[in-house]
Amino acid sequence: MHDMSIALIELGLVVLALGLLARIAHHFGLSPVPLYLLVGLAFGHGGVLPIVKSTEFIELAAEIGVILLLFLLGLEYSAEELVSSLKSNSPAGLFDFVANFTPGFVAGLLLGWSPITSVVLGGVTYVSSSGIVAKTLTDLGRIGNRETPTILSILVFEDLAMALYLPIVTGLLIGSGIGTTLRLVGVALATVCLILAVALRWGHRLSRLIGRPNDEVLLLLVMGTALLVAGFANALNVSAGVGAFLVGIALSGPVAHGAQQLLSPLRDLFAAVFFVFFGLQTNPSDIPPVFVVALALAIVTSLTKFGTGYLAARRAGIAKMGSKRAGAALIARGEFSVVIAGLSVAAGGEPGLGPLVAAYVMILAVSGPILTRFVGVRRTPAPEVAAPVSTRT
């Protein structure tokens, strides 16, 4: 068969498998991310049906997936929201970082990995999945709850922290020797600060420049801008996704709202391919040996995350029940953890990291939403909210 035919058939099978699994995930109210990783494992090297001809396309599509993932995240926030959130929630955000970065970092060192790989693992355990958390809160009708602003502001802080963390890790991974690494990281951070300053100061002008064109024009203009900035950011070792994230923050008003609606389906497709790509690079047979480590790390970092949310909510004047809900809601890890680990895998880093993170994310992307559903929920006479594992106070 012609190469093109094989590539198309392979892609068709992958996307079809994603669709079927997403349907199952949706049916059970679960995040599809772990199932997408499973698709990647199945079609990857050592999987049941290794693909060969479409890997180049999948690699590029995966990169676009990361760009769109972060771009749409940036679109959700306005610059004012970020600044005011940063001002009022820094203590909780910093505590979150220390409490959840440290377990991953220490685990990396204990596994005998390099300090740089350990920094990567620290990042993996640090960030909650804003995608999964927001989806779970919406599904459970908890957006209006009083603990929700606390949860959201911690997520905002993490997303902003990523804008600094990702360039630093990129610099660490490709730099050789302290001198070059410092220079790379310095240039990257300066670029981030510059784009962020421009976004905060002149973002509304960019939105006005785009105006209110029809959907097709808006889609192409916005997508082009995001890819272009992502490309330049990549050239400066800022990591393409962060460039796109900052463009997303710069855009506001009707442009941001319209772009969000138009790009969401594209994001869903390409981000799913990204998770597949991460799975592709992982050999399924490497997972069982690291599963116990992943489980232990998942348990420890569930507790540290729970503590983070609980304390932050208590500090914000939330009662004990609500604080428990806030703690449980933050446990889920997902897309960001995979993005961080993907940087290291792409740079040819420690081979044990991919399988460990795949298992870790699969555990917490599934258990996070389940814990959110049942922790901090009072047993009531209404049977639909009564749950076997709910805690009573």
Contact set for other proteins, span 359-378 (CB under 8 A): 378
Distance CA 293, CA 111 (A): 9
Q: How many residues bind other proteins (CB under 8 A)?
A: 28
342 interacts with other proteins by CB under 8 A: no
Distance CA 69, CA 26 (A): 19
141 interacts with other proteins by CB under 8 A: yes
Which is closer to other proteins, CB of 280 or CB of 311?
A: 311
**Identity at 215, one-letter amino acid code:** D
CB of residue 131 vs other proteins: minimum separation in angstroms?
Answer: 11
Per-residue binding string, other proteins, 154-183, x by CB under 8 A, is -xx---------------------------
119 interacts with other proteins by CB under 8 A: no
Name the H helices within the chain: 3-27, 33-43, 55-76, 79-110, 115-126, 130-139, 148-174, 178-210, 215-235, 240-250, 253-280, 287-315, 320-329, 335-346, 353-374
85 interacts with other proteins by CB under 8 A: yes
277 interacts with other proteins by CB under 8 A: no
386 interacts with other proteins by CB under 8 A: no
| CA within 13 Å, CB half, 376 | 25
Q: What's the maximum distance between 2 C-alpha atoms anywhere in the chain?
A: 66
Distance CA 372, CA 380 (A): 17
265 interacts with other proteins by CB under 8 A: no
**Selected binder of other proteins within 145, 181, 367, 391 (CB under 8 A):** 145
Contact set for other proteins, span 302-341 (CB under 8 A): 318-319, 321-322, 325
The contacts of residue 75 (CB under 8 Å, 6+ apart) are 248, 249, 251, 256, 259, 260, 263
Which is closer to other proteins, CB of 115 or CB of 254?
A: 254
CA dist list (Å): 206 to 37, 68, 202: 37, 19, 7
Distance CA 333, CA 368 (A): 8
Which is closer to other proteins, CB of 66 or CB of 82?
A: 82
Task: Report the candidate in 188, 166, 91, 204 with the shortest Cα–Cα distance to residue 342.
Answer: 166
CB of residue 79 vs other proteins: minimum separation in angstroms?
Answer: 11
**Selected binder of other proteins within 5, 84, 180, 285 (CB under 8 A):** 84
**Selected binder of other proteins within 21, 22, 116, 149 (CB under 8 A):** 149
CB of residue 100 vs other proteins: minimum separation in angstroms?
Answer: 20
237 interacts with other proteins by CB under 8 A: no
Task: Report the candidate in 246, 259, 152, 238 with the shortest Cα–Cα distance to residue 201.
Answer: 246
**What angle (nearest 5°) sits at the alpha carbon of residue 166, between those of residues 190 and 281?**
145
**Selected binder of other proteins within 152, 163, 280, 329 (CB under 8 A):** 152
CB of residue 160 vs other proteins: minimum separation in angstroms?
Answer: 10
Which is closer to other proteins, CB of 89 or CB of 117?
A: 89
Residues binding other proteins (CB under 8 A)? 76-77, 81-82, 84-85, 130, 134, 141-149, 152-153, 155-156, 257, 318-319, 321-322, 325, 378
